[in-house]
Amino acid sequence: MAHDHAHGSGSRRQLRIVFGIVATIFVFQLIGSVVTGSLALLIDTGHNAVDLIGIGIALFAASLVSKPTGGQKTWGFRRAEVLAAGAQATLLLGLGIYSLIEGIRRFFVPPEVPGPGMLLFGAIGLVGNLVSIVILSSSKEDSLNLKAAFLEVIADALGSVAVIFAALAIWLFGWERADAVAALVIAALIVPRAFAILRETGSILLEAAPKELDLDKVREHLEAVEHVQEVHDLHITRIDSNLPVLTAHVVLADECFYDGHAPRILKALQECLTEHHKIAIEHSTFQFDRAKDAAHETHTHD
């Protein structure tokens, strides 16, 4: 438990540093988008604004997750990070749709944009995003929030690259439509990512099993444990992105309830879940059924 607490504190510290960097980038790029009138820079600024909100939500969610369980909240606030990631992705999707619409409009009616100024502010954004990527790279798989933040910072960096290329095209070749093209490129980076995060959060909220786990194979492993005759009513859900939970009914021979086998079988089942699968399932609840009772239940349901 102490390890988890320290780990969470480290993640929050990283998020705070990245929040400060993204806030600084946002201020500079907001000034740049006003000065230059660049759509690509404006969209990149909007993307940074969404990131800023998202990282702020992630920090708040990380603080909630660290709160102890109690009362009716038997899992504490672990779902907060899922809700935060979903809100973040929704904002990104809205920004991406706006980028597509405005980018297409400006492609046909391109305004005049100063290339050198656009290049300067794009470079500032790129440097800040690269620093954020380095900070988050070591903990990006720790939670859905950190993964979302890391992917957003990468997309921001790619967006800044698009702004820089557009600025060079305008400055060196006078191709004003490059600004709109860069905005469309940034939109193409945002929309699929937003859908991916929404799909992941929706999967958790709908209590679908993690895609890394094959329920049939999990059942086969459990039924291979000595003295286990059948496994049914098997459910695997996730409380948050890193906490899978399993419940199942396990049918044992009647004598296992009288000869002391049941506790050893329970331990073997738990070891199977933590050692034999891509994701270790450390939270499990098994109900042991006697073979004759299970047969009676099957007959009754039929």
In a domain, 270, yes or no: yes
Q: Please state, in angstroms and rounded to a whole number, the distance separating the CA atoms of residues 205 and 199.
A: 10
Q: Phi-psi region for residue 70, left (φ > 0), alpha (ψ -120 to 50) or beta? A: left
Say if residue 139 is in the same domain as residue 239.
Answer: no
- Overall number of domains in the chain: 2
Any idea what the CATH number is for the domain that residue 221 is in?
A: 3.30.70.1350
In a domain, 3, yes or no: no
How many residues in the chain?
Answer: 302
Q: Please state, in angstroms and rounded to a whole number, the distance separating the CA atoms of residues 163 and 166.
A: 5
pTM confidence score: 0.75
Say if residue 250 is in the same domain as residue 117.
Answer: no
Q: Please state, in angstroms and rounded to a whole number, the distance separating the CA atoms of residues 63 and 80.
A: 9
pLDDT tens-place string over residues 51-65: 787 778 777 766 766
Q: For residue 129, which of 13, 21, 19, 15 has the smallest C-alpha distance?
A: 21
pLDDT tens-place string over residues 85-111: 788 788 888 888 988 998 999 899 888
In a domain, 302, yes or no: no
What residue has token string 């992105």? 241
Q: Averaged in consecutive runs of 10 residues, what is the pLDDT profile of the chain (302 residues)?
A: 44 82 91 90 86 78 68 73 82 88 89 89 92 81 69 83 92 91 88 88 90 90 90 90 89 85 90 85 90 59 43
Alpha helices in 37-143 (DSSP H): 39-65, 80-108, 115-136
Say if residue 201 is in the same domain as residue 236.
Answer: no
> Considering 184, 206, 228, which residue would you say is the last residue of a domain?
206
273: which 2 tokens?
């879940």
Say if residue 88 is in the same domain as residue 161.
Answer: yes
In a domain, 2, yes or no: no
The whole domain housing 276 covers 215-295
Say if residue 170 is in the same domain as residue 239.
Answer: no
Any idea what the CATH number is for the domain that residue 182 is in?
A: 1.20.1510.10
What number of other Cβ atoms are within 10 A of residue 118's Cβ?
A: 28
In a domain, 300, yes or no: no
